[in-house]
Amino acid sequence: MRIATWNVNSIRARSESVVAWMTEQDIDVVALQEIKCHNDAFPLMSFLASGYDVAHVGQGAYNGVAIASRVGLEDVEIGFEGMPTFPVDGQEVAEARAISARCAGIRLWSLYVPNGRALDDPHYAYKLRWLDALRDITALGLAHDPAAQLMLAGDWNVAQRDEDVWDLSFFENRPHVSEPERSAIRRFLRTDGAGPGLTDSALPYAPGYTYWDYTQLRFPRDEGMRIDYALCSPALDTRVTGAFVDRDARKAKGASDHAPVVFEIAD
């Protein structure tokens, strides 16, 4: 089975190319982020016509996540227990950043982690709270069911290692590489009871960058970041036999600024 994750940066602008790519690459399930449309504007027919069921949650021109599957789509959950909100116009809003479904026995989450914007921005503290809440609920779930087949896939907006960015000095005093963010991801990987003991299943198969800014010829110069990946439960990680970043999808005309990451899952 093939499972992919892809920040598509507007599904309405790219639905046909996304579905065509899924078909060409023989993708069974895909976690999509930044769909950037209201629920009633999601281009559902493009997916249904190619045999994919879709669960999605939108937020207008911002955020939004979805899962498309041709191997089953059951027990859909939007958001997660304890997910932090963010104040918008004086009201606390649960942003459209998390959706999950059971696909062929795997509980797949499509996640769009808050960017953080700047180290002194309220969104940065929100990002850390969001990651901590996700880790806590994940650890609790795996404590109850250590054999769970679980994949947390998406745009994490955190480059875990120095080699996950093209120039570490460029990101000095900026989000994505700060120690609190990296520490928040490491706690997902801990197996000492302080975390759920997940594995970054893209490594060592696909260590390359997954995002290149549109400006400054970042993509031709390969000045990118690795911020799109999947953290898998121990039971599922043993089934991951390979992964790759599809750079060709990023090269296409009108493409997203992210490339999809594809995972090979053994039966």
Q: What would the pLDDT profile of 110-143 be if each residue is shown by its tens digit?
A: 999 999 999 999 999 999 999 999 999 999 999 9
As given in the structure block, the two tokens for residue 193 are: 């009871």
Domains of the chain: total: 1
Q: Which pLDDT band, with edges at 50, 70 and 90, does 267 fall under?
A: very high
How far is it, in rounded angstroms, from Cα 97 to Cα 240? 25
Query: What is the pTM for the complete model shown?
Result: 0.97
Residue 113: which region, alpha, beta or left (left: phi > 0; alpha: psi -120 to 50)?
beta
At position 109, the amino acid (one-letter code) is W
The per-residue pLDDT for range 13-64, each reduced to its tens digit, is 999 999 999 999 999 999 999 999 999 999 999 999 999 999 999 999 999 9
| Mean local confidence (pLDDT), 59-86 | 97
Residue 222: which region, alpha, beta or left (left: phi > 0; alpha: psi -120 to 50)?
left
Q: Is the pLDDT of residue 88 over 90?
A: no
pLDDT of the residue at 205: 97
How far is it, in rounded angstroms, from Cα 120 to Cα 81? 27
Q: Is the pLDDT of residue 192 over 80?
A: no
Sign of CA dihedral 98, 114, 177, 165: positive
pLDDT of the residue at 167: 97
CATH code at position 192 = 3.60.10.10
Q: Is the pLDDT of residue 193 over 80?
A: no
Q: Is the pLDDT of residue 160 over 80?
A: yes
pLDDT of the residue at 194: 78
pLDDT of the residue at 29: 99
**Which structural domain, as residue segments, surrounds residue 173?**
2-265
As given in the structure block, the two tokens for residue 253 are: 């005309």
